Structures are given as structure tokens and as C-alpha cells.
Homo-oligomer: A and B are copies of this chain.
């Protein structure tokens, strides 16, 4: 029993099953792929694969389907990344080029990716840590309520309402604004906390209170937005493939809606040297996603924010991985300096 052929058999099973959604038997296998051996031999191989836990039979007299472990082996060692079609490349380029705003870019990206893969696409907002403060604005909404707006040089705008703790006049606020802006302009966001301390220290005692409140607000602004938000598209694709999620489309939707879950999941995915990380079925901790796989990768300057796709474990990994990788690259290029 040759080891290479066993892998070849696993590959064939995965591909056929992904294609037909039906358990694949030994006979169909030798017919569709020219493996050069008879179905009996394949049966032996399949028995071995089953012993190793790579495939399983839903019932005695059905063909085999890959297990999570089988998909894992397939993804890690067998499959080759399928190149995108020129049409797809063009679509990516065209769709992403005419956009200005960051929100806009991300929005187009998820839509594109979900169309490309026929699955649910997810994009995490890029981190701000590398960005620098471009501008700060305080606006007095009510005597004690200040709207703080932070504009980063990446074009990202963050806002938040802050309780100043005491009543402020427009003049005081304006003075504070100048103070903050003077010290903070150009500061990288990850260094913001320290710099804020020095601003407060430089304030006359009378201004300390509100300055501290504002500083806290700004700090929250810079850190809160880090990994907190994401955009999503293509949930309708879940329903189309309701054959894949027999009755469990509900939990999947829940997980997607509870953005925290998805964000955790994305963040936890270790960066794969080959560029795209895959989490298959029960490999991920959330029960609702037991029958789902996530294909994701980082993008942007330090590749910390993630873009990815969620679909049934029975998905076309090579193509999906190719699409995710391609989209991430274009995305990085567009957002890049």
C-alpha cells in the first residue's frame, strides 16, 4: 500500500465531496480519477484512511466523507493554491480602485470577497497603532459633554462623547485643545498614553481635572477602536448552502452577529507562514461554528488586522484561500503608503 497513493485518494475524496456534496465511494473514485488501480485497492486504502481518522462513513453502506482532520491534512499538505482567473483578478482590481474612504474600501472588500467565494466574508478594521495623530478636535455639546474627534493620518476618524466631570466654557475647551494638539500632533497612537501624561503634567492645576477626563477619553478612543469592529457581507450565502448547515444556520448567524466571537476567532488565528490561515470545524472553540471553517489572513502594513471568509467545512479550500490571499494583497496595496 503506497503512501503517496493514499494521499492521492484522500485528495480525490475531498475534491469529489466538495464538488458533489455526497459521500464518495470507491467505484466512483476510480472512474472519475485515473488512479491506475482497481476499486478494491482503493477500498483498502480507504480503510486505512478511516483507521487514521481522516475520513469517515456516515453509515455502513455509504461512501466516505473527509473528517476535520482529513481536511486539515488536505489543506496542509496536499492541496495546491489555485490561481485566480484573470476575470477575477480584474474584478478585484476594478472594484477596489475607485474608492476613497476607508469605510468605503472595507465595504467594497467584503462584498467582493463574499461574491468571489460565495460565502460570508469578514474584514476587521485595521489597527491604529501605527497611525499618527493628525488632528484633534473638541466640541462642546453640553456644558459637561465634550465630543472628542481624533483624526489619524491614515484618514481614519474616531469620535466619542466624553463627560468632562465639570462644566466647561468654550474658551477653556479651546485652550485645552491647543494644548493637546500641540503635544500630540504626529504622535503614533500606540505612544499616546505616555504623551497624554506629559500633557496633563504640563497643565496648570486649575485645568488638571478636565484635562484628565479628556485624556482618558482620547486614550479610550485610540485603543478601543483597535480590534473592535468588523464589516461583514454575504450572510445570504449561508442560506443558499443550507444543505451544508443542515439545521444549524441559526448558531452560525448568532456567532456572526456576536461580533466579539468572530473577532476573537480572527485574532486567535496564528499567522501561517504560507500566508493564509485556516481553522477547520471543531478546531475553533465556538460550538455554533462546529461545522464551519474560517479562512483568513492579515493585511495592512503589519498584517495584524484580518480579512477572511467563513463557510461550511465542506468548502473549496484552494480557491477560497487564493481569493482571500489575493484580496488581502490588493487591500494592503491600497491602504499602503
Contact = CB atoms under 8 A, between A and B. Distances in A.
Interface of A: 100-101, 134-135, 137, 139, 141, 147, 149, 151, 153, 155, 157, 159-161, 163, 233-236, 238-240, 242, 247, 249-251, 253-254, 256-257
A155 B149 contact: no
B139 A151 contact: yes
18 contacts: A100-B163, A101-B159, A101-B161, A134-B139, A135-B139, A137-B151, A141-B153, A141-B155, A147-B155, A149-B149, A157-B159, A233-B257, A235-B257, A236-B250, A236-B253, A239-B249, A239-B250, A249-B249
A253 B238 contact: yes
B234 A257 contact: yes
Contacts of A100: 160-161, 163
A141 B234 CA distance: 32
Given A100-B161, A235-B256, A236-B253, 8 more contacts: A101-B160, A137-B137, A139-B151, A149-B151, A155-B161, A233-B257, A235-B253, A242-B250
Contacts of A160: 100-101
Contacts of A249: 239, 242, 249
Contacts of A242: 247, 249-250
Contacts of A239: 249-250, 253
Contacts of A238: 253
